[in-house]
Amino acid sequence: MADRAGSHPASGWLILDKPRGLGSTQAVGAVKRNLREGGHAKTKVGHGGTLDPLAEGVLPIALGEATKLAGRMLDASKVYEFTIAFGEETDTLDVEGEVTARSGRRPPIAAVAAILEHFTGEIEQVPPAYSAVKVDGRRAYDRARAGETVEMKTRTVTVHALSLANGREEAAPRSAFAAEAGRPDPFDPRAPLELADSVTLVAHVSKGTYVRSLARDIAHALGTVGHVTYLRRVKAGPFAQDQAISLDKLNEIGKGARLEDLLLPLEAGLDGIPAHDLDPESAQAVRQGRVLSGMPHPDGLLLAKSGGVPVALMEVTAGTAKVVRGFNIPDTAE
């Protein structure tokens, strides 16, 4: 079937709200299938950051020339909402694994609130044994599933922000006073002590941060054990969950719905990077990979455009701009 986009396949981003139980590779496969069935068979597809099958939420899917930016998306920070259930730790640090430790201790909500600042900023973290980190050339989860003892190395990651999510804490029964008064302020020393069976947090983290490890370490710091029972990515780089589409919406593309109505432009993945519109002569020079001089822009990345169409991502140094990534997107006037 001829590509409905003509000789130039579509370029941009589909932001998928990945459901629990679906792997990232399967999600990409679903996009490819719908594009093929909808007449967009020539379109390149890639994803901007793996989500575990048990996780749900924002999965950026790059199409066409946007696939050249997928690597930048992998490096972008992410925001997750996750629930830690206290009392049991598993080998996978989530609900899929076998229980390896138990504790009858339940931390006070006030203690949870107070300890979060100690997990903010640069922290040392040991990734889960069941993770995609390579150990001696093999994925850690492959070694763990084979029954090997996997020694994971500590890494430094950054937690930009960490806080309690509103209204998701499931606490043990409270006193009559607490029940009548409503949930107390966890920072108020006069508030009644409220113990948490589980707690839901929101974390803004750097590339390479494992939320399951963060949950394990928070539980340990509170004098107990825990594991992740719920994990949702609410933001990946510049893409938020209110921009995400469901699988049902994705499937409409395969049934003939307009891809353009769901596709975000390529430059949506370059949020915060200034754009500069080039004259035709400069645009042609950039397409040939040539350097531009006399650029009136501060040092840093710049999106060069021509007639509103992205031409290249460029690096400006002392007024000189060099191509970092060129985009082969036709001008609408062509």
DSSP secondary structure string for all residues of 297-314: S-SEEEEEEETTEEEEEE
pLDDT of residue 185: 64
Question: Active-site residue among 52, 188, 217, 277?
Answer: 52
Q: Is the pLDDT of residue 50 over 50?
A: yes
Q: Could you tell me the pLDDT band of residue 143, with boundaries at 50, 70 and 90?
A: confident
Q: Is the pLDDT of residue 86 over 80?
A: yes
Q: Could you tell me the pLDDT band of residue 145, with boundaries at 50, 70 and 90?
A: confident
52 is catalytic: yes
Q: Could you tell me the pLDDT band of residue 191, with boundaries at 50, 70 and 90?
A: low
Range ranked top by mean pLDDT from 75-84, 144-153, 172-181? 75-84
Mean pLDDT of 92-115: 94
pLDDT of residue 186: 59
CA distance 261 to 4: 14
Q: Is the pLDDT of residue 171 over 50?
A: no
pLDDT of residue 141: 72
Half-sphere exposure of 3 (CA within 13 A, CB side): 15
Q: Is the pLDDT of residue 268 over 90?
A: yes
Lowest mean per-residue pLDDT among 59-68, 143-152, 196-205:
143-152
Q: Is the pLDDT of residue 188 over 70?
A: no
The amino acid sitting at 161 is A
pLDDT of residue 120: 97
Q: Own/partner pairs for 310-319, CB < 8 Å, 24+ apart?
A: 310/65, 310/266, 310/267, 311/278, 311/283, 311/286, 311/287, 312/286, 312/287, 313/69, 313/270, 313/273, 314/286, 319/293, 319/294, 319/295
Lowest mean per-residue pLDDT among 133-142, 222-231, 238-247:
133-142
Q: Could you tell me the pLDDT band of residue 316, with boundaries at 50, 70 and 90?
A: very high
Q: Could you tell me the pLDDT band of residue 180, with boundaries at 50, 70 and 90?
A: very low
CA distance 172 to 300: 52
pLDDT of residue 4: 52
Mean pLDDT of 72-100: 94
This prediction has a pTM of 0.86
Q: Is the pLDDT of residue 130 over 80?
A: no
pLDDT of residue 187: 61
Alpha helices for 187-246 (secondary structure H)? 211-221
